[in-house]
Structure 1
């Protein structure tokens, strides 16, 4: 894994520098959202997380790095004309494929063939780095990786400042989530890697906490790895309705269970608080405060 991960990490860290001199700019924060298997809601969480950050006043880009199954644009009901493959093939500039959305975030679409990013030669990498400079004026880049443990996924994980692993309470999802955590621990050479855990589609906070505690304990015991539990997202019918309508759930139902949970997760990432009121928001805050 070494050379490819190191190469992409260097590529992504170049985002944090200026092109004209040696002065370091304020760092752009890179968050990779990944999972051990498909179907756990990873892309939905990554997209809505980006919108939650935008609602906090952050400049956000959501980059769809899913191999051959790019679908952030589907959730947002956007049909892109170009994607990252066109940038890698030098057919387009990065600035020409960035899409503004009505939700306050910018989007970069991945596509089939995107895995070539992990195998670029030195010249191709240098050219791509120049294009990545156009992202240096944003606060947050959220990378929605493909599911599983491909070299491409591990490269983005290695490049990120923080990695959010998504699972559900289903046994197969838990097993696969632990699997990707184990691969990350053994194959990604990044001492600053910050692994987080989000448990999606649960019916109770107790259910989510049980899953999180189990994974955290096993990772600590067998991998000597510390994982932070960010929180959970309730199994909310509003999420399913939002997907069918191709509209972000945090916009369609901002006061819904899933939306409030996600806002608290982002608040934890930012080490801040969201306003507390009576009712469900206050209830969720108390639940998160005990986890």
Structure 2
């Protein structure tokens, strides 16, 4: 995979992206495996940011099994596939929601960013430049360690890795941290861990200590413990109703945890976003 990542970066280096003056903060939410609640965390995190007055765009960057729109109960007419193929503009595919955020639906069934033609890649990046109005862009990546994931993670200001207390999820979380450490040169994003579906504060802390200590010891990479989200029946109910729990159950334990995560992102080790232009340069393999 290292060779694939380097090939993609080399292919992208020919693209020059104008530097935006915007200070958009780019947050990639990812996980080592599916089924850990990554999309739920990303979606509710986006809404929590909007609730404190931020202009937020939530991008579903899963090009295989996109489902942000499902969680939100939104039926998109167009998605990333139409943008990449030049069939629709960013303005035409971006969707306003009742929750104060805008979303870009993922392209279900699409292959890989690495497989895009030069024209498709240029068009994709040019269109994404139109997101500079946003204060925060949250990118919900696909699960796992595919090349699409690495592309978005490498370009973000902050990377939120979601896991659960299950042993397989913990192992896979460490796996994606290892891939990040070995595939991405000159790491300068903030790596942060969220433990989802915990029963107690202690459980979340134990999982985080296990992951962060192993990452530090064997990979020499710093991963900060951002926080946890409680196991909460409000979450499953929200998924079935297709209405985010932070809106439908704002006083639930899970909603309180999401708000706490935003507080941590904003106040603890906060780094000013390097801007959308910088994100696009990094995404395309620039310095």
- Please confirm whether the aligned pair reaches a TM-score higher than 0.5, indicating the same fold: yes
Q: Pick one of 56, 61, 67 that aligns with 1:65.
A: 61
Whether the aligned pair in 2 keeps the contact of 1:249 and 1:259 (CA below 8 Å) is yes
1:17 has 2:13 as partner: no
Q: Could you list the runs of 5+ residues in structure 1 that have no partner in the other structure?
A: 19-24, 273-291
RMSD of aligned C-alpha atoms?
1.9
* Map of 2:238 onto structure 1: 242
In structure 2, relative to structure 1, the CA distance for the partners of 1:6 and 1:106 (3 Å cut) is farther
CA distance in structure 1 between the aligned counterparts of 2:165 and 2:77, rounded to whole angstroms: 37
Write out aligned runs for 1:167-246 (5 A).
167-246=163-242
Per-residue CA deviation, residues 211-268 of structure 1 (Å, 9 max, x unaligned), is 0001111000000000000000000111111111100000011111001111011111
* Map of 2:279 onto structure 1: none
Paired residues, what number? Answer: 264
After superposing the two structures, state which structure 1 stretch, 127-136 or 43-52, moved more: 127-136
CA distance in structure 2 between the aligned counterparts of 1:142 and 1:10, rounded to whole angstroms: 26
* Map of 1:87 onto structure 2: 83
Whether the aligned pair in 1 keeps the contact of 2:65 and 2:109 (CA below 8 Å) is no
SS of the residue corresponding to residue 67 of structure 1 reads: coil
Q: Pick one of 23, 33, 37 that aligns with 1:37.
A: 33
CA distance in structure 2 between the aligned counterparts of 1:186 and 1:130, rounded to whole angstroms: 29
CA distance in structure 1 between the aligned counterparts of 2:48 and 2:14, rounded to whole angstroms: 28
Q: Pick one of 38, 42, 47 that aligns with 1:51.
A: 47
CA distance in structure 1 between the aligned counterparts of 2:82 and 2:226, rounded to whole angstroms: 35
Q: Give the drift of 1:9.
A: 9.3
SS of the residue corresponding to residue 197 of structure 2 reads: strand
After superposing the two structures, state which structure 1 stretch, 109-118 or 77-86, moved more: 109-118
Q: Give the drift of 1:115.
A: 3.8
Q: Could you list the runs of 5+ residues in structure 2 that have no partner in the other structure?
A: 269-287
Q: Give the drift of 1:147.
A: 0.5
Q: Give the drift of 1:27.
A: 1.6
1:119 has 2:123 as partner: no
Q: Give the drift of 1:5.
A: 4.5
SS of the residue corresponding to residue 134 of structure 2 reads: coil
Query: Stretches of 4+ moved more than 6 A in 1?
Result: 6-11
Per-residue CA deviation, residues 174-233 of structure 1 (Å, 9 max, x unaligned), is 011111111111111242121100000000000000000011110000000000000000
